[in-house]
């Protein structure tokens, strides 16, 4: 029977298990990436493992998230990252070089390889035919040390593309359509493989927009074939030598198939506050807009920004709109500067931001109170912009630019004739901001400023546990809710005692103090708990505060893996009736954990406050049970190394 592309790449990297959906498999990781917001922890964890040099084919440390330097903290982190990378064989992409995913796609990604990144939008690499997966920093640290990456073998969804995008309709509208159909939970336990005759009509950056925002489906990753379009892109990046042709067999099968006719799509937006709240721009209508932001790892390729520049050339941004642009990479930024497009943007009234994540992670450009902000980004969770009551719509660069000119949400088809962008045969190649690791690592001193605090390590799980429900929350809690980011909190990411004071800050500010006082606690959540970013601080900081278990209706994949990695027990309620038996403040007893965990399919928990019992499911593999009993992956790895 023919194989799909996912099966081919996973097979070539399979170390343990069989490719049967739902079973745990281990794969070899060829490349890793980290960004600064998760990287400091990943490298502290790598150091704790005691491996002198990375064992991957390529590992890169990017600095793109926290580039605002209003105190010493971020600068300390950047210096630590640069020195630790040099010592341990890791390339270092300096601040200013661009957003990790875009730079990686342009300069380092290789079709057919596996990439593990400590950032949830690592699947961007699927745009050139990589199996690129987002994970917690500790998983990335283990991969850098040569260890396998364990995952639940996903189902493969084939998205069969036919037709061709109409003028003014873009790749963003494709992924918004997939989100509309599959929802933010629809990709859990799945890899999305794009196939069909429509694939050839999409450029690599367009494909990368689609695989990037596949993260919002909850999917393990998304992937496109590596074809003549991929070869053309890599040739323009002076990297034709890494191209290989890759695609599904003609008789490949998929667990599920979705058909999308590209020619039937229209400009769309994701409405506040979820990436799957999709409507067409015409359905939403001409609402007044106060801010337009273009950039992020989703939509700031050369073609994206050239289109925007052409649309605003000779015009002026609407007086009620603040219009910001953050180019995704220094390559694109410099090309725009040299060909005059940057001047067109500046002349039209755009505020040019650094080539970094910036406002996407709440680092600057928070909208005014209650404002409507149209962004080309990938997430519009409540409060992520830094303004709690802002209304964020996610859109294509074309919709965003049209809106910046008119001051109301605008379908770009209303503006006139479409714009054609001539793509350069060669991109501007200059990797001087990527520093190679030292050839003499023994001479490199790792520089630790006061913001780099030691890594807290969990203790082994007790044989039985009695703990209070410190917090009870509803559905769709994101990692932004659990561990908020933004200009005030993000600089504390290398200092767990300090950052843990902000856990659940926007949900219940008393949580950190109550958890610490209790000394040992449980969190209860609803569906899709922990969706959003890969930030392991959303597990690490609650662990530091004494959280031992999280019970929900369902978990997002990366967050659940992070909980396990830090020795926190992830449990799901067996039924709605069981979930209804727990309230905040109740005291729960988990008896005989030592014996039952790993043996029984379900556990019985006693609610000491009400006297009732209820049932939960651990759904843990043998390896995961051992990790949790050891108090986390780091303890487990050390124990196994002895
Ligand atoms: Fe950065 Fe936003 Fe992407 S924080 S990595 S631009 S999702």
Positions marked catalytic: 64-65, 119, 379, 533, 535
99 lines ligand 1 (CB under 6 A): yes
Instruction: Compute the distance between CA of residue 309 and CA of residue 302 in angstroms, rounded to an integer.
Output: 10
Best mutation site among 297, 484, 558 for ligand 1 pocket (most ligand atoms within 8 Å of CB): 297
Atom of ligand 1 nearest to the CA of 533: 7
pLDDT at 156: 98
For residue 139, the model assigns a pLDDT of: 95
Atom of ligand 1 nearest to the CA of 361: 4
Give the domains, in start order, of the chain with CATH numbers. Answer: 5-264 (3.30.499.10), 268-415 (3.30.499.10), 465-641 (3.20.19.10)
Per-residue confidence (pLDDT) for residue 487, from 0 to 100: 82
Please write the tens of the pLDDT for every residue from 409-420. 999 999 889 999
| Nearest CA residue ID for atom 5, ligand 1 | 297
339 CA to centre of ligand 1 in angstroms? 26
**Whether residue 357 has its Cβ less than 6 Å from ligand 1:** yes
Task: Give CA–CA dist 594/405, Å, rounded.
Answer: 63
How does strand 256-261 pair with strand 155-162? parallel
| pLDDT tens for each residue of 18-62 | 999 999 999 999 999 999 999 999 999 999 888 999 999 999 999
Q: Is the CB of 297 under 6 A from ligand 1?
A: yes
Atom of ligand 1 nearest to the CA of 64: 1
Q: Distance between CA 569 and CA 461 in Å, rounded?
A: 9
User: For ligand 1, is residue 329 a contact (CB within 6 Å)?
Assistant: no
Question: What is the distance in A from the centroid of ligand 1 to the CA of 528?
Answer: 21
pTM, 2 dp:
0.94
Q: Which of 194, 31, 191, 203 is nearest to 111 (CA)?
A: 31
Q: From atom 3 of ligand 1, which residue's Cα is the shortest distance away?
A: 297
Position 115 pLDDT exceeds 60: yes
What is the best residue among 360, 478, 535 to mutate for testing ligand 1's pocket, by most ligand atoms within 8 Å of CB? 360
Distance 610 CA to ligand 1 centre (A): 44
Q: Is 384 in contact with 364 (CB distance < 8 Å)?
A: no
pLDDT in tens, 570-596: 999 999 999 999 999 999 999 989 889
**Residue 228 · residue 243 · CB < 8 Å:** no
Q: Which of 117, 296, 381 to mutate to test the pocket of ligand 1 (most atoms within 8 A of CB)?
A: 296
* pLDDT value, residue 362: 87
How is residue 225 written in tokens? 């074939």
What percent of the chain lies above the pLDDT cut of 70? 100
Question: Which residues are CB-neighbours of 407 under 8 A, at least 6 positions away?
Answer: 288, 289, 318, 319, 320, 321
Choice from 93, 97, 99 to test ligand 1 binding pocket (greatest atom count within 8 A of CB): 99
| 232 has a pLDDT exceeding 90 | yes
Q: Residue 296 C-alpha to ligand 1 middle, in angstroms?
A: 5
Q: Is 378 in the pocket of ligand 1 (CB under 6 A)?
A: yes
SS3 33: strand
Instruction: Judge if the beta carbon of residue 105 lies within 6 A of ligand 1.
Output: no
Nearest to 176 by CA among 299, 296, 278, 301: 278
Closest by CA position to 291, among listed 210, 208, 358: 358
Helix (H, G, I), strand (E, B) or coil at 214: helix
Pocket mutation for ligand 1, best pick of 93, 101, 294, 354 (most atoms within 8 Å of C-beta)? 101
CA dihedral 258, 128, 419, 339 (to 10 degrees): 160
**Quick check: CB of 119 below 6 Å from ligand 1?**
yes
Largest pairwise CA distance in the chain: 72
Q: Is the pLDDT of residue 642 over 70?
A: no
The whole-angstrom separation of Cα 167 and Cα 366 is 32
Tens-place pLDDT, residues 303-350: 999 999 999 999 999 999 999 999 999 999 999 999 999 999 999 999
Of 102, 261, 64, nearest to 178 (Cα)? 261
* Residue-wise pLDDT tens digits, 452-483: 999 998 999 999 999 999 999 999 899 999 99
**In whole angstroms, how far apart are CA 516 and each of 183, 536, 565?**
36, 19, 21
293 alpha carbon – ligand 1 mean position (Å)? 13
Q: What are phi and psi of 256, to 5 degrees?
A: -155, 145
ipTM of the complex: 0.99
The rounded Å distance from CA 442 to ligand 1 centre is 34
- Span 523-535, average pLDDT: 90
Q: What are phi and psi of 368, to 5 degrees?
A: -70, 165
One DSSP character per residue, 526-591 reads -TTBTBS---THHHHHHHHTTEEEEEES-B-HHHHHHHHHTTPEEEEESSHHHHTT--TT-EEEET
Distance of CA 400 from the midpoint of ligand 1 (Å): 18
* Ligand 1 geometric centre to CA of 297 (Å): 5
Q: Give CA–CA dist 216/213, Å, rounded.
A: 5
Q: Is 536 in the pocket of ligand 1 (CB under 6 A)?
A: no
pLDDT per residue as tens digits for the range 166-221: 999 999 999 999 999 999 999 999 999 999 999 999 999 999 999 999 999 999 99
Sheet holding 91-93, edge to edge: 131-134, 114-117, 31-34, 58-62, 91-93, 434-435
Question: 135: CA distance to ligand 1 center in Å?
Answer: 15
Q: Whose CA is nearest to atom 1 of ligand 1?
A: 357
Q: How far is the CA of 604 from the centre of ligand 1 (A)?
A: 41
Q: Is 399 exposed, middle or buried (0-12, 13-18, 19+ CB in 10 A)?
A: buried
The protein residue whose alpha carbon is closest to atom 2 in ligand 1 is 360
State if residue 361 touches ligand 1 by the CB under 6 angstroms criterion. Answer: yes
Q: Is 121 in the pocket of ligand 1 (CB under 6 A)?
A: yes
- Of 483-487, 582-586, 599-603, which one has max mean pLDDT? 582-586
Look up tokens 């067109």; give the residue: 344
Cis peptide before 183 (omega within 30 of 0): no
Report the pLDDT value the prediction gives residue 638, as an integer from 0 to 100. 78
């Amino acid at each position: 029977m023919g194989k799909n592309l996912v099966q081919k790449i996973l097979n070539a990297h399979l170390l343990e298990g069989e490719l049967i959906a739902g079973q745990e498999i281990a794969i070899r990781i060829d490349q890793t990436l980290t960004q600064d917001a998760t990287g400091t922890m990943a490298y502290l964890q790598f150091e704790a493992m005691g491996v002198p040099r990375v064992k991957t084919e390529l590992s890169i440390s990017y600095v793109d998230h926290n580039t605002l330097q209003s105190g010493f903290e971020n600068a300390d982190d950047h210096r630590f990252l640069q020195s630790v990378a040099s010592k341990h064989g890791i390339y270092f992409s300096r601040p200013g070089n661009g957003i990790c995913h875009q730079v990686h796609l342009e300069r380092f990604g290789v079709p057919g390889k596996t990439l593990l990144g400590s950032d949830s939008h690592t699947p961007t690499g699927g745009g050139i035919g990589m199996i690129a997966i987002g994970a917690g920093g500790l998983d990335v640290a283990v991969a850098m040390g040569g260890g396998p990456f364990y995952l639940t073998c996903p189902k493969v969804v084939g998205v069969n593309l036919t037709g061709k995008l109409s003028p003014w309709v873009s790749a963003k509208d494709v992924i918004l359509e997939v989100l509309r159909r599959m929802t933010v939970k629809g990709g859990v336990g799945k890899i999305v493989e794009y196939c069909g005759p429509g694939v050839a009509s999409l450029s690599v950056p367009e494909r990368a927009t689609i695989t990037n925002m596949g993260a919002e489906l909850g999917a393990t990753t998304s992937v496109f074939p590596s074809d003549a379009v991929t070869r053309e892109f890599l040739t323009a990046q002076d990297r034709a030598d890494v191209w290989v042709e890759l695609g599904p067999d003609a008789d490949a099968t998929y667990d599920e198939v979705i058909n999308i006719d590209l020619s039937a799509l229209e400009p769309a937006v994701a409405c506040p506050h979820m990436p799957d709240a999709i409507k067409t721009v015409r359905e939403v209508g001409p609402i007044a807009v106060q801010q337009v932001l273009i950039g992020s790892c989703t939509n700031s390729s050369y073609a994206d920004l050239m289109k925007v520049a052409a649309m605003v050339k000779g015009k002026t941004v609407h007086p009620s709109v603040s219009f910001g642009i953050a180019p995704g990479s220094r390559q694109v930024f410099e090309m725009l500067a040299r060909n005059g497009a940057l001047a067109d943007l500046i002349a039209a009234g755009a505020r040019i931001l650094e080539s970094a994540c910036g406002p996407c992670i709440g680092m600057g450009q928070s909208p005014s109170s209650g404002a409507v902000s149209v962004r080309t980004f990938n997430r519009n969770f409540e409060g992520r912009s830094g303004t709690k009551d802002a209304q964020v719509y996610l859109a294509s660069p074309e919709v965003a630019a049209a809106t910046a000119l008119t001051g109301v949400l605008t379908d770009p088809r209303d503006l006139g004739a479409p714009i054609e962008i001539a793509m350069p045969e060669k991109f501007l190649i200059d990797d001087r901001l990527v520093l190679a690791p030292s050839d003499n690592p023994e001479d490199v001193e790792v520089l630790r400023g006061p913001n780099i605090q030691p890594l807290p390590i969990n203790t082994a799980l007790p044989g039985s546990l009695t703990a209070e429900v410190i917090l009870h929350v509803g559905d769709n809690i994101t990692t932004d809710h659990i561990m908020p980011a933004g200009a005030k909190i993000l600089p504390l990411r290398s200092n767990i005692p300090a950052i843990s004071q902000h856990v659940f800050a926007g949900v219940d500010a008393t949580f950190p103090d109550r958890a610490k006082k209790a000394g040992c606690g449980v969190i209860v959540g609803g569906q899709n708990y922990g969706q959003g970013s890969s930030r392991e601080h959303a597990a690490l900081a609650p662990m530091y505060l004494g959280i031992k278990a999280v019970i929900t209706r369902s978990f997002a994949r990366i967050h659940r893996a992070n909980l396990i990695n830090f020795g926190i027990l992830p449990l799901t309620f067996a039924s709605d009736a069981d979930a209804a038996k727990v309230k905040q403040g109740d005291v729960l007893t988990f008896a005989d954990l030592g014996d039952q965990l790993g043996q029984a399919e379900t556990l019985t928990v006693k609610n000491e406050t009400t006297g009732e019992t209820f049932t939960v499911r651990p759904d843990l593999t043998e390896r995961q049970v051992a990790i949790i009993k050891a108090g986390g992956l780091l303890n487990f790895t050390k124990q196994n190394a002895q």
